[in-house]
Amino acid sequence: MHNNKESTAAEVPRAVRSLPWLIIVRLARSFRYDGLEIRVFEEADEAREVFLKASDALGLIADRDPADYRRIRRHVSRILFMSVSGGLYVPRLRTCVISIDYAKRSTALDVAMMIVHEATHARLWSLGCRYTRSAQDWEERTCVKAEIAFASKISDSAQSIARTQNLLSEPWWTDDAKYLRSADELGRLGCPPWLTRLLLGRRPTKGRPQVCDTSTSLAPRLLAACQR
């Protein structure tokens, strides 16, 4: 997945758009793996558990696909684990964001695949590819292919590969899919419907761009941060 920088979000100064993410990064617990910054937005014991899972995942990538590992080190400054659906890449902070719940319940291989996916977004960004509406279908499929190429080098990965391939049957990157995901997250955080409407605006309809993608992607994160 990826944060979309089209529509009116482009009218907001970059520093302002980065500020909420910077606050979340600074509030999260900090770890290091081979010099790479790992941040976990969670209480101490559980944060340690997630960090160990991330270490296993990165170790797996370094061991089975050194070229992929070098690309991650080159293009990614940090990996942040927090309450999100799936994952996304924040280019201005060179940060891969991964669902903390997913990391807890998944194997090191599945977490490694998600890191490879988000790091592929980072590499494409550094090559000049921009995540526009017209490019996002191609870019997401490219990132999924990178995940599968990595997993193919590991035995017993057939189930993870099949699950990843199945994801493409329901594109998660459309405006409507993103809106529904954020509304669901807000609902689970206890946000009343009126506040969800205020934070996210109206549900996107075909042909009408979403009002502000930044608010869609950040609203659940900010609410979760305020509840801590």
176: nearest Cα among 142, 144, 200 = 200
Binding status of residue 1 toward Zn ion by CB under 5 A: yes
**78-82 and 87-90 beta bridge pairing:** unpaired
Binding status of residue 161 toward Zn ion by CB under 5 A: no
Minimum distance of Zn ion from residue 95's CB (angstroms): 14
How big, in percent rounded to 5, are the helix, strand and coil portions of the chain?
60, 10, 30
Binding status of residue 100 toward Zn ion by CB under 5 A: no
Minimum distance of Zn ion from residue 60's CB (angstroms): 20
Phi/psi for 58 (5° steps) reads -65, -35
Q: Which stretch binds Zn ion (CB under 5 A): 47-55, 75-83, 126-134, 138-146?
A: 138-146
What sign does the dihedral 81-35-22-202 (CA atoms) show?
negative
Task: Enumerate the β-bridge partners of residue 96.
Answer: 79, 89
Binding status of residue 82 toward Zn ion by CB under 5 A: no
Binding status of residue 143 toward Zn ion by CB under 5 A: yes
Minimum distance of Zn ion from residue 47's CB (angstroms): 24
Whose Cβ is closer to Zn ion: residue 68's or residue 140's?
A: 140
What is the distance between the alpha carbons of residues 152 and 27, in angstroms, rounded to a whole number?
A: 36
Binding status of residue 97 toward Zn ion by CB under 5 A: no
Helix (H, G, I), strand (E, B) or coil at 36: strand
Minimum distance of Zn ion from residue 143's CB (angstroms): 5
Whose Cβ is closer to Zn ion: residue 120's or residue 214's?
A: 120
Minimum distance of Zn ion from residue 84's CB (angstroms): 12
Q: Which stretch binds Zn ion (CB under 5 A): 32-40, 99-107, 132-140, 161-169?
A: 132-140
Whose Cβ is closer to Zn ion: residue 31's or residue 125's?
A: 125
Minimum distance of Zn ion from residue 121's CB (angstroms): 6
Footprint of Zn ion on 4-33 (CB under 5 A): none
Whose Cβ is closer to Zn ion: residue 1's or residue 58's?
A: 1
How many angstroms separate the Cα of 3 from the Cα of each of 88, 203, 211, 218?
A: 6, 17, 14, 10
Whose Cβ is closer to Zn ion: residue 31's or residue 91's?
A: 91
Work out the widest C-alpha separation in the chain, in whole angstroms: 49
157-166's contacts with Cβ under 8 Å and 24+ in sequence apart are 157/109, 160/107, 160/109, 160/110, 160/113, 164/113
Token pair for residue 29? 């617990």
Minimum distance of Zn ion from residue 32's CB (angstroms): 25
Interface residues with Zn ion (CB under 5 A) are 1-2, 140, 143
